[in-house]
Structure 1
Amino acid sequence: MRPTSAAAWIAATAATALLVTGCGSTGQDGTPKKAAPGVDGQDIGARPLADLRQGGTLRLAIDQWITQYNVNDVDGQQGDAQEIIKTVMPDLFDSDAQGTPHANPDFLVSAKVVSTSPQVIEYDLNPKAKWSDGKPLSWHDFRAQWQALNGSDPAYEAADPSGYDQIADVGQGSGPHAVKVTFKAPYADWQRLFDPLYPARYYDSPAKFLKSWAEKVPVSGNAFKIGGTDKTAQTITLVPDPRWWGRKPKLDSIVYRVLDTSARPDAYLDKEIDYTSALLPEDYQRLAKAPDTDIRRGARWDEVHITLNGGRGALKDLRVRQAVQHAVDRQGIDEAFAKDLSFQLKPLDNHFFMPNQKGYKDTSGGYADYDVAAAKKLLAAAGWKDAGAGKPRTKGGRQLTLDYVLSAGSTSAQTDQAQLVQQQLAQVGIKVELKKVPANDYFNQFVNRGNFDLTSFRNVDAVYPSMLTPVFVQPRGRNLFQNFGSVGSPKIDALLKKAGETTDHAKASDLYNQADTEIWRLAHSIELYQRPEILAVRSGLANFGAEGLADVDYTKVGWVKK
């Protein structure tokens, strides 16, 4: 199970690790730092299925109890929910180590563009593919999902209408198991739509869309199904579905347990879970020496940032948000932590592309440069008066105060990051109050509702740049999509729409980077670093670990024969 994050397949997992970048060439033990893996870097302990025994349990940790299994609702965007759903619902496309999507033959005989003007996609469904209630997958499921997610009915409160809003019609294809999807305008990343697929009978009204998947999965359609949940013990158990038509899974069960990030190294060492992050130096030192443990490394699409909420309080003023950007010393934070890492990392100056991806360039335009004088000048221009060294600025009798919301399950490194930001902003007259909230409420009650001034979390696995569209488009009424800080503009919306319609990769990348320049100017969020994928995994666990840009195939995950 790979923790995921908040932007469109980026699920949202709580602000995780330590701020790091490639300063210095040796780790704390004096040995040379290892180079970061390439764009297709992964380490999953790959073994042929013949080497694996039948049976066994895989035990994994998750950040919070899953309250919503509809990943197209904002509360279902939490990364653990997304990973579980991809394991129990029809998963039409899977990415390889380079992030390239391929049709999953368990669900699709083929999926291809049959016309370019207009763009028409025909999906030929595997005739064996059925829902757990025995009904076959059909074009009706595609049509209901399109109607729920295209934005035409705001009652659905879809987390991400992008792509679906460019479809003109969905209907029966040329054969009994075929689906025909016709677009109004070309859509480059069409493979990311309808993946995962949901059944029409639990998706064809706003009430069903919002309520049918609350803490349950009424109908599944994959190799595994939910075998049981225990809210008291905070565990969710997946078991093989006897109706499954594909390759039989090796595992007897997958057990997910809610566990604070800070508690996971000890849980791993006590053999309560079978993998955990080994990124933090203090964790790495303990975990790397543990018996029967592999340290597996990969190059995942994984970024950590600080979101600024432009929808409330002082941060509604662009000048204040820009001042915050200038007051946060990204390089200083990096240098404070990176000296103990065993991994070479690069600073992150782009919201859409990782440094090891084609299309990456520095789009920050100087807006994220550490510049205390510029920050003070912007705050003064916004009417916030200097009250003297160490004191918050004031305006109309009010102090300039922001809250920084953290999960109570945060690691010490996450808290350290918040405290450093608190110290840095104090230097320009901004008082920051750290606010820890229950882990189960962090996303559902705070991040997803825009109930914060500052917060930090990860966006992960955005192998399609268009997956980030809902993070940066302007909210519509109560629906924030995934733009939790409500910072956007018509210019950004237009550029992202045009990029999504552009099938030439280089031209599309240029449009995303043009949009990113505006995103930095508006101080939507402060990019910090690309988080490395360094995991401690049980040595006998095969075909699982640091996946990089690839998806996990849980039918191939299992324990090596002894």
Structure 2
Amino acid sequence: MSRWWLVVVFTATIALVAGCGVDLAGGGSSSSTQPQMNFQPRDKLRDGGSLTTAIVEVSPQWNTFHADGTAYTLALWRWYNPSLAFFAPDGTYSFNRDYLTDVRTELINGNTQVTYTINPKAVYNDGTPIDWRAFENTWRINRGTDANYVISASDGYDRIASVTPGRDARQAIVRFNGVWAWPNGLFNILVHPKVDTPDLFNKAYLQAPHNEWGAGPYVVKSYDRNAGVVVFERNPKWWGQPGKLDRRVFRQMEDQAAINAFSNGEIDAIGVGSKDNRARVLTMSNVDIRTSATPQQSLLVVNLDTPVLRDIRVREALLRGIDRATLARIRFTGLNYSEPLPGSLSLYAFQPGYEDNVSASITYDQAKARALLDQAGWTPGDDGIRRRGGAALEVSLPILGDSPAITNIVRALQAMLAQIGVKVDIVVRPSSDFSKVIINKEFDLFMMGFASSDPYGMAYFCQVWCKGSQLNKAGAGSRELDAEIARVATIADPAEQIKAGNIVERKAFAQYSDLPLFNGPQMVAVKHGLANYGAGLFYIGPVENIGWEK
């Protein structure tokens, strides 16, 4: 993969644990960093059955490498495309032997070199061999040298000097320029060699899954664009062990519809990271609640394209006016859970090298916030809302879906900012508008999330903070900051790179563009007997082993 972060809806309940352990629930009853997945060997699972879960949206863009792809895109992608890498819950890498027979990383003449030996059985559904050309095409598109390819990120791929065949076409040799500290974060998924023009890359996957360019234990049986329903079935061309499930179904649903469907037995698993939904499932029989820490961030993004928010004093005032501790208490009410306020968008508190890089520049201080707004020329009116030149200091904040938990958080934030003289207009939109809101930047302030696709957070520092990055939704950044980020990326030792990255991240937060709010644990309610699924930290495993116990 080329990215750690994937954009997700700011949500409290609907989980996304598509066999890869990425849950977007954001709530739980324990701060445990141990996975709860009900790990079972294949011989303990029955053949057949179906698994149906809710999904926030079926993204219009099915190409997970594209900048418009989200965590939901990746969740669907993994069910019918090659997944070359597995990760244990603690983030330990291993390769998928259905696709690779060996991965060898070496340092040759001061340059990192990775040799991938490809399983001779590996073939795309259209008959194209999975060989070095897939690796070469993935690198060529994602290295960032052709702006016509609208990619999510080039991190790591832009450090590669060449991708060439090895002893034969079934071996790919990847040579880097210098040392790259995070090689296991690359080529975990691939772009089909036939997707070889910007037009195909950018447009072919719009509302179209393209089974023929996929490979793996499942294929898309049907995709109902209007209903937001995707159904997978076993792939007759798969050379590995067959999927245990007959059917895997994703249904786009709002929060309340999803919890009702779970209560009625219409779906089999759901995130229950809110007080009301957790209490509701606790009364149900034959239901397990699986909880662990989560590799996910919830944050507030400030849109620097909004004229009044271009003034750094106004942005600083906004962020200093927000009491994150109170928002976290609201978020975790009824969950018997607490956590330190998050201090990084690069690492989690449970990862080595984590530091609090937020508090150096952003602390809750409404007196300071009011003084900053005074300096910027915004004076309070009779209604308490500040004005300058006759215009009110007013910003919009869209929320997606109908989660009461999220509504409570946003109302609290609205009240906090009113105390410093800022009017926040809350706009309620359906969850299915997520990609539209993000892509078109239809917000002044926006609560959203980032979910991780692997544990190498510092490798993808540029995604969030580099100027012009597709995941820099605030639009912050500078040439000077970009240069510092690039310098950090050249540090060969992972631990030293993390130390240097922490220093630079403190400068990035001083732009007052992004504010981490909370992480929370994964908390997933599942029907009893569902195996190899749930709250898995960094876990990514074989989707063919998800199923029901005998």
> Taking structure 2 as the reference length, what is the TM-score of the superposition?
0.92
Change (3 A) 1:62 1:34: closer
Give the corresponding residue for 2:348.
354
2:494 to 496, 502, 505: 505
Matches within 5 A, 1:364-443: 364-388=358-382, 390-407=383-400, 409-443=401-435
Deviation at 1:468, TM superposition (A): 4.6
2:493 maps to a residue whose letter is: D
Q: Distance in 2 between matches of 1:167 and 1:238?
A: 35
Judge conservation of contact 1:8–1:468 (CA < 8 Å) in 2.
Answer: no
**Residue 490 (structure 1) aligns with:** 479
**Amino acid corresponding to residue 54 of structure 1 in structure 2:** D
Which residue does the alignment assign to 1:55?
Answer: 48
Q: What is the SS of the residue equivalent to 2:485? A: helix
Q: Which residue of 2 aligns with 1:23?
A: none
1:545 lines up with 2:534 in the alignment: yes
1: CA distance between counterparts of 2:520 and 2:448? 11
Report the CA distance between 1:72 and its aligned residue: 1.5
Q: Is the 8 A contact 2:7 2:471 kept in 1?
A: no
Contact kept, 8 Å, 1:363 with 1:517, in 2: the verdict is yes
- For residues 155-197 of structure 1, give each alpha carbon's deviation from its aligned partner in whole angstroms, at most 9, with x where no partner exists: 1121101111111221212333111112123222222222211
Change (3 A) 1:336 1:531: closer
Give the 3 Å change call, closer, same or farther, for CA 467–240 of structure 1 in structure 2: farther
Aligned residue type for 1:147: R
CA deviation profile, 1:406-438 (whole Å, cap 9, x unmatched): 11x141111121111111111111111112233
Structure 1 residue 196 corresponds to structure 2 residue 185: no
2:145 is matched with which residue? 152
- 1:260-409, aligned counterparts within 5 Å? 260-388=254-382, 390-407=383-400, 409=401
Kindly tell me: are residues 185 and 386 of structure 1, through their superposed partners in 2, closer, same or farther at Cα, counting changes over 3 Å? farther
For residues 339 and 286 of structure 1, the distance between their equivalents in structure 2, rounded to whole angstroms, comes to 15
**2:123, 2:29 → 1: CA distance?**
46
Would the alpha carbon gap of residues 8 and 312 (structure 1) be closer, same or farther in structure 2, given more than 3 Å must change?
farther
SS of alignment partner, residue 272 of structure 1: coil
**Alignment-derived partner of residue 228 in structure 2:** 234
2:96 aligned with 1:104: yes
> C-alpha deviations, 1:32-91, integer Å up to 9, x for none?
x965112xx101112221121111111011111331111111221x21110111221111
Counterpart of 1:65 in structure 2: which amino acid?
A: V
SS of corresponding position for 2:53: strand
DSSP 3-state at the match of 2:543: coil
Aligned to 1:8: 3
Change (3 A) 1:189 1:262: farther
CA distance in 2, matches of 1:79, 1:447: 13
The whole-number CA distance in structure 2 between the counterparts of 1:508 and 1:147 is 26
Task: Give the structure 1 partner of residue 79 of structure 2.
Answer: 87
Question: Kindly tell me: are residues 363 and 289 of structure 1, through their superposed partners in 2, closer, same or farther at Cα, counting changes over 3 Å?
Answer: same
- 8 Å Cα contact 1:496/1:512 also seen in 2: yes
Cα shift at 1:337:
4.5
Matches within 5 A, 1:129-168: 129-168=122-161
Q: 1:215 aligns with which of 187, 207, 217?
A: 207
- CA-CA distance at 1:339 after TM superposition: 4.3
Offset, 1:454:
0.5
Partner of 1:457: 448
Report the secondary structure of 1:11's partner residue: strand
Cα deviation for residue 482 of structure 1 reads 0.7
8 Å Cα contact 2:398-2:429 kept in structure 1: yes
Distance 2:30 2:56 in 1: 29
The residue that corresponds to 1:17 in the other structure is 12
The alpha-carbon deviation at position 154 of structure 1 amounts to 0.8
Q: Is the 8 A contact 1:62 1:80 kept in 2?
A: yes
1:555 match: secondary structure: helix
- Structure 2: segments with no counterpart, 5+ residues: 14-27
3-state SS of 1:492 partner: helix
Amino acid at match of 1:517: R
Distance 1:423 1:276, change over 3 A: same
Q: CA separation in 2, counterparts of 1:487 and 1:282?
A: 37
- Is the contact made by 1:448 and 1:482 (CA closer than 8 Å) also made in structure 2? no
1:112 is paired with a residue whose SS is strand
What is the identity, as a one-letter code, of the residue corresponding to 2:524?
A: L
Kept after mapping to 2: 8 A contact 1:311/1:487: no
- Deviations, residues 272-310 of structure 1 (Å, cap 9, x unaligned): 111111221211111022111001111221111111111
Local SS of the residue matching 2:86: strand
Task: Look up the equivalent residue of 1:130 and give its one-letter code.
Answer: V
SS in 2 for 1:109: strand
Secondary structure of the structure 2 residue equivalent to 1:106: coil
TM (normalized to structure 1)?
A: 0.90
One of 64, 67, 71 as aligned partner of 1:74: 67
Deviates more, 1:314-323 or 1:338-347: 338-347
Say which is worse superposed, 52-61 or 375-384, in terms of deviation: 375-384
Compared with structure 1, are the counterparts of its residues 114 and 505 closer, same or farther at alpha carbon in structure 2 (3 Å cutoff)? closer
From 163, 166, 173, the counterpart of 2:166: 173
Q: Is the 8 A contact 1:16 1:410 kept in 2?
A: no
Deviation at 1:359, TM superposition (A): 1.3
Say what the alpha-carbon RMSD is for the aligned residues: 1.9
> 127-136 or 111-120, which moves further after superposition?
111-120
Q: Is the 8 A contact 1:498 1:511 kept in 2?
A: no
**Identity of counterpart residues, as a percentage?**
26
CA contact (8 A) 2:361 2:506 kept: no
Please state how far the C-alpha of 1:472 moved relative to its aligned partner: 1.5
Instruction: For 1:83, give the aligned amino acid.
Output: A
Does the Cα contact within 8 Å between 1:119 and 1:183 map onto a contact in 2?
A: yes
Which residue matches 2:547?
558
3-state DSSP of counterpart to 2:462: helix
> Which piece of structure 1 moves more, 528-537 or 108-117?
108-117
Instruction: Note if contact 2:385-2:418 (Cα within 8 Å) is conserved in structure 1.
Output: yes
**Inter-partner Cα distance in structure 1 for 2:360 and 2:111:** 41
Give the distance between the partners of 1:268 and 1:354, measured in 2 at CA.
31
Distance 1:122 1:490 in 2: 35
Q: Which residue of 2 aligns with 1:517?
A: 506
Aligned to 1:118: 111
Distance 1:230 1:109 in 2: 37
Separation in 2 of the partners of 1:315 and 1:64?
29
Q: Which residue of 2 aligns with 1:24?
A: none
1:485-538 deviation digits (Å, cap 9, x = unpaired): 101123432333333333322211112211220122111211111121111111
Alignment match, 1:29: none
Cα deviation for residue 244 of structure 1 reads 0.8
Number of aligned residue pairs: 530
